[in-house]
Amino acid sequence: MKLHLVRILAVATLLSCSVSQAGFKPAADGLPEGWKLFRINEKVPATTFTLTEPGVLHAQANNSMAGMLRKQRIDLSKTPVLCWRWKIKASVAKADLLTKAGDDYAARIYVFYDVPVTQLGFSDRLKIKLAKSLYGADIPTAALNYVWDNKQPIGTLRANAYTDRTRMLVVESGNAKAGQWLSEARDLKQDYLAAFGGRAPDVTGLAIATDTDNTHGDAEAWYQEPRFVAKAEQCTTP
């Protein structure tokens, strides 16, 4: 059984990348410098990621799932705003944010938070303890996904169909703006409060993903590197 909780836990073994703030730059392996490919299930084909032009990461999914992961501890009291730009060819037609079978997105940005285990419920503490025994100590205890959905209204905020330790926030929806570069700016402190309640802890990492492994379709997206700033007004194109 495919558990979405595993998606936010398994990346812990890969949270060992350096940080780049000035746009995607190619590393020796052709992938973005400071980012690392992660796969949850080796039996599922991997979404392909390529640098197609300066600063732009292209993702192509064909009944596949994979993401690009970057370790980055961010003090949100200093730089609480996350900025990025993205573009999709089309939303995932058969996706459904409310169901496990529809948990696919043409584009999504994961933000991982370091929530103290003492603040979690008993069941969640047990899950985290088990995950740490399997994957190591560097486990994200909460995640917020900014997604480009196919039909849910912008602003929709729901628990993920697999686990309430991940919340899904729709920031773009449908195909009206497909094919266009869109700029996003999100206040992570405010979004964390809305999603989980309470004060936002430090961010421990980011991930970019385009996936169609549940709906068995195709998706294509382009990203410019996310970055953290103090105010939304500072979100300018790299």
pLDDT of residue 115: 64
Amino acid found at 152? Q
Place domain 4-234 in its CATH homologous superfamily: Galactose-binding lectin (2.60.120.430)
Residue spans of the domains in the chain: they are 4-234
Task: Write the burial class of residue 162 (CB in 10 Å: 0-12 exposed, 13-18 middle, 19+ buried).
Answer: middle
pTM: 0.84
pLDDT of residue 139: 56
pLDDT of residue 4: 45
Nearest residue to 206 via CA among 23, 70, 37, 57: 70
Per-residue pLDDT of the chain (238 residues; tens, 9 = 90+): 444 444 544 444 344 333 334 479 888 888 899 999 988 788 899 999 999 988 999 999 999 999 999 988 999 999 999 999 999 999 999 999 999 999 999 999 999 988 655 555 545 555 555 445 444 445 567 899 999 999 999 999 999 998 888 899 999 999 999 999 999 999 999 999 999 998 899 899 999 999 999 999 999 999 999 999 999 999 975 4
pLDDT of residue 19: 36
pLDDT of residue 69: 93
pLDDT of residue 150: 97
What is the distance between the alpha carbons of residues 47 and 59, in angstroms, rounded to a whole number?
7
